[in-house]
Structure 1
Amino acid sequence: MEGMVTTAANPTAIEAIDLIKDYGQGDTAVHALRGVNVRFEQGKFTAIMGPSGSGKSTLMHTLAGLDSATSGRIIFDGADITKMNDNQLTLLRRHKIGFIFQSFNLLPMFSAEQNILMPLTLAGEKPDRRWFRQLVETLGLKDRLNHRPNELSGGQQQRVAIARALIAKPSLVFADEPTGNLDSVSSAEVLSFLKRSVKELGQTIIMVTHDAVAASYADRAIVFADGRIVADVPHPNAEQMNELLMAERERATRAAI
């Protein structure tokens, strides 16, 4: 399955070509990504799964320009981000990439509205009020805008974090275990909103998750093991993803014996 490319009408949001990431050198080197080839479509929700240490988080961090590649190319918005300097990468992340984390990273002294607008405030830019209204209505936050984070549930805080990630209209959003700190009801709520933001707002989302149920909300799921793609599944369901992950864990256990 390595190197499998999906054929679809949607344009490419971001693409990794022969991507390699090594940590350390010589006998102690860790090969986190081993020649990965993968393309992500615009306007799609993709989940990346795999056991701990499989390379899924490394792929996300490398695609987002948070970590450098050892070799290979990453094509985003017509440019190879592996050739960009720190200033170029900072501007790219500020204007074209949004992030949603497991820990919501909201500023406790500010209201939900101030937290949502924070990326624009820091960049000295004015918000598009129509887009802001559309976001808060889609995310069900209209009546919570004056509340501070400690007055919101976990699910509401994560929805504020999603709105903050989308406010600058990034062309791509990375979500790193976005439901990791939430109960099952809040998780379903947040995943439904992520799915809606793809369908209704035309967003492109790449989500790293260890949760097969979370992956089932995506349009596509990629399974990682030992720095390689071992499965690329359209329209995933939870049972199917659980089976793939269990098979991969068993294979890793046998290999270690």
Structure 2
Amino acid sequence: MGVEGKSFRNSTFTIQFLMITTHTCPQIIAILAVSADGKIADFRHSPARFGSKTDKAHLETQIAAADAVIFGANTLRAYGTTLTVTQPQLLEQRTQQGQTPQPVHIVITRKANLNPEIRFFQQPIERWLITTANNALFWQHRSEFNRILTFPLLSDEFDLSSIINHLANLGIRRLAVLGGSELVASFLNANLIDEIYLTICPLILGGKTAPSLVSGQGFLESTAPQLELLSTKVVENEVFLHYRVRRP
């Protein structure tokens, strides 16, 4: 059983509440880049821009293959924008597959405390918001988000399985998780990620407070997610890894 939304529309937004229905789970991939010591940002939590042009092109290729991408509010605040598909061959690929030029860009946040003036809200993309019913109120009669999906919190966390079921019912067949580390941890903890594309970048950031690839409570060795290496590629000083997450 999954989750279906009941829609309430005006000219600028859609808010969806929850009903039960069936679903087909989408494929979920994570696309991530880290320093050689596994950090996604420095100790000041500065926006990570250490990936090369090759890594950016790799990220864009994976985004172009997705129906939707999802990221947390901290990631959006750090960058203020999202990566869109610009390569002509990727745009043509999406057209040939009957897709819109850009995948849906989904922000998932408990508080929905976002600055409506950031450039993200001027980008030519479809934007969805996942948050709680109370924290959706600010955005209801505004035009920034094309669709608002509301879910309750369970022990201060979203039920990601219900959210994924709901996205499947909305036609999302391939979902790309872009971060940050808390969101990646939540998806792994819920056993929802199928594959991971991981770029190892040639620098060391260090620092006790510098965020790592996966945060959250962490995993015991006996229950940690296990990976199967599907491919490796070295381009200059970067290593591109492709893993499948083994199911327990």
Question: Per the shorter chain, which TM-score range?
Answer: 0.3 to 0.5
Q: TM-score, normalised by structure 1?
A: 0.34
Q: TM-score, normalised by structure 2?
A: 0.35
When you count strand as a share of all residues, which structure comes out higher? 2
When you count helix as a share of all residues, which structure comes out higher? 1
| Greater RCO structure (CA 8 Å; 6+ sep) | 2
